[in-house]
């Protein structure tokens, strides 16, 4: 197996994990306001999926978006500054945790309304097909989003118009505190593709190589045949829905069993077994330095100037009275 690839995937997953652990700390110090939804445990999904994309591809996700932003090349300093509401943030401190954005790397957010990104992704994929840019749109959503109208509207248009889009349901087992078995009549979420119809698969989200392979096939289908795909990637979040959620709706045993499958730990062990210990330790230190630097940068950055409070807000000068 390609050792450079293993090291790179490990580096990216660890970067997300450490970024968010520091974010959790800053939140408890009340330096981050509003909501903070952590992606801890799910890192192999974003990193695996985005590692097989091309630069012209577009990416969207829901509000649990820090990992996708970083995996799509987003800068850790600008991400941390965004969490602290600073002017140097990736959305100039106006979006916060749920609305990371980085147009240079084709990362189109960070969407707070559950399922909203599904039809918008169909629109982005339509533009790619229309402009013949050979691009693919990758849209991540949670298992809680699949019962929302916009999910079905987006899936239907994607299939009807033969759009180069990949929908990834990150099945982390819960929508806020509600377990999947209370919302979905079948535990196989990939069958939601049948009615449109479109290609689909269920993937083990703890295995980053399985994620890469499934997304690679879907991207090929999108690029070459202009056809959409629905992937259900099974994963698990170790933290509560947000920092405000103590997650009492599951047992400690369930959590521990899932943590035993931790994709970062598993890949780290693989590196050690391949004799890559020194490199792994070097990466651990580099990531630690990068994240500490990002925290310092964010803390030292200024808040946006009050005079800019209304910038970028929509204003209608001729609104009918």
Ligand X SMILES: Cc1ncc(C[n+]2csc(CCOP(=O)(O)OP(=O)(O)O)c2C)c(N)n1
Binding site for ligand X (CB under 6 A): 62, 64, 112-114, 142-145, 172, 174-176, 241
- Nearer CB in complex with ligand X: 139/287: 139
User: What is the Cα–Cα distance from 58 to 69, expressed in whole angstroms?
Assistant: 12
The least distance separating ligand X from the CB of residue 316, rounded to whole angstroms, comes to 25
**Do strands 178-179 and 174-175 pair parallel, antiparallel, or not at all (unpaired)?**
antiparallel
Tell me how far apart the terminal alpha carbons of the chain are, to the nearest angstrom: 67
**Range 268-275 contact pairs with CB under 8 angstroms and sequence separation of 24 or more:** 268/10, 270/6, 271/6, 271/7, 271/10, 274/1, 274/3, 274/6
- Nearer CB in complex with ligand X: 38/91: 38
The least distance separating ligand X from the CB of residue 291, rounded to whole angstroms, comes to 23
- Hey, what are 92's tokens? 């100039």
Classify residue 273 by burial, with Cβ atoms within 10 Å: 0-12, 13-18, 19+: exposed
- Nearer CB in complex with ligand X: 174/297: 174
CA 49, 80, 264 angle in degrees (round to 5)? Answer: 40
- With a CB cutoff of 8 Å and minimum separation 6, the contacts of 88 are 77, 78, 81, 297, 298, 301, 302
The least distance separating ligand X from the CB of residue 117, rounded to whole angstroms, comes to 11
User: What is the Cα–Cα distance from 150 to 234, expressed in whole angstroms?
Assistant: 22
Among 126, 80, 115, which residue's Cα sits nearest to residue 300?
A: 80
- Nearer CB in complex with ligand X: 40/124: 40
- Hey, what are 45's tokens? 């999904």
The least distance separating ligand X from the CB of residue 144, rounded to whole angstroms, comes to 3
The least distance separating ligand X from the CB of residue 274, rounded to whole angstroms, comes to 33
Among 172, 164, 95, which residue's Cα sits nearest to residue 141?
A: 172
- Nearer CB in complex with ligand X: 65/264: 65
**Do strands 137-142 and 107-110 pair parallel, antiparallel, or not at all (unpaired)?**
unpaired
Residue with the closest Cβ to ligand X? Answer: 142
The least distance separating ligand X from the CB of residue 176, rounded to whole angstroms, comes to 5
The least distance separating ligand X from the CB of residue 261, rounded to whole angstroms, comes to 17
- Nearer CB in complex with ligand X: 129/241: 241
- Nearer CB in complex with ligand X: 82/143: 143
């Amino acid at each position: 197996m390609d050792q450079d690839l293993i090291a790179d995937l490990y580096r990216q997953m660890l970067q997300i994990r450490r970024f968010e652990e520091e974010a959790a700390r800053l939140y408890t110090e009340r330096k981050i306001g509003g909501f903070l939804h952590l992606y801890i445990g799910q890192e192999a999904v974003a990193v695996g999926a985005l590692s097989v994309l091309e630069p012209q591809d577009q990416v969207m996700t829901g509000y649990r978006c820090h990992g996708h932003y970083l995996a799509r090349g987003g800068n850790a300093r600008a991400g941390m500054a965004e969490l602290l509401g600073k002017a140097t943030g990736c959305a100039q401190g106006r979006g916060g945790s749920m609305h990371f954005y980085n147009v240079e790397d084709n990362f189109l957010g960070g969407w707070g309304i559950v399922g909203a990104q599904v039809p918008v992704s169909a629109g982005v994929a339509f533009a790619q097909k229309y402009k013949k840019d050979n691009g693919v749109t990758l849209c991540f959503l949670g298992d809680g989003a699949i019962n929302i109208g916009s999910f079905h509207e987006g899936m239907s248009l994607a299939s009807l118009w033969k759009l180069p889009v990949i929908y990834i349901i990150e099945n982390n087992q819960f929508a806020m505190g509600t377990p999947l078995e209370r919302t979905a009549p079948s535990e196989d979420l990939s069958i939601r593709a049948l009615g449109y119809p479109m290609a689909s698969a269920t993937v083990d989200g703890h295995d980053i190589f399985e994620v890469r392979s499934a997304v690679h096939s879907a991207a090929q289908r999108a690029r070459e045949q202009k056809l959409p795909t629905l992937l259900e990637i099974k994963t698990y979040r170790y933290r509560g829905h947000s920092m405000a959620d103590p997650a009492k709706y599951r047992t400690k045993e369930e959590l521990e069993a899932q943590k035993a499958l931790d994709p970062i730990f598993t890949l780290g062990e693989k590196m050690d077994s391949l004799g890559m210990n020194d490199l792994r330790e070097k990466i651990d230190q580099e990531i630690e330095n990068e994240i500490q630097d990002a925290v310092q940068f964010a803390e030292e950055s200024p808040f946006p100037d009050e005079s800019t409070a209304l910038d970028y807000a929509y204003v209608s000068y001729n609104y009918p009275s």
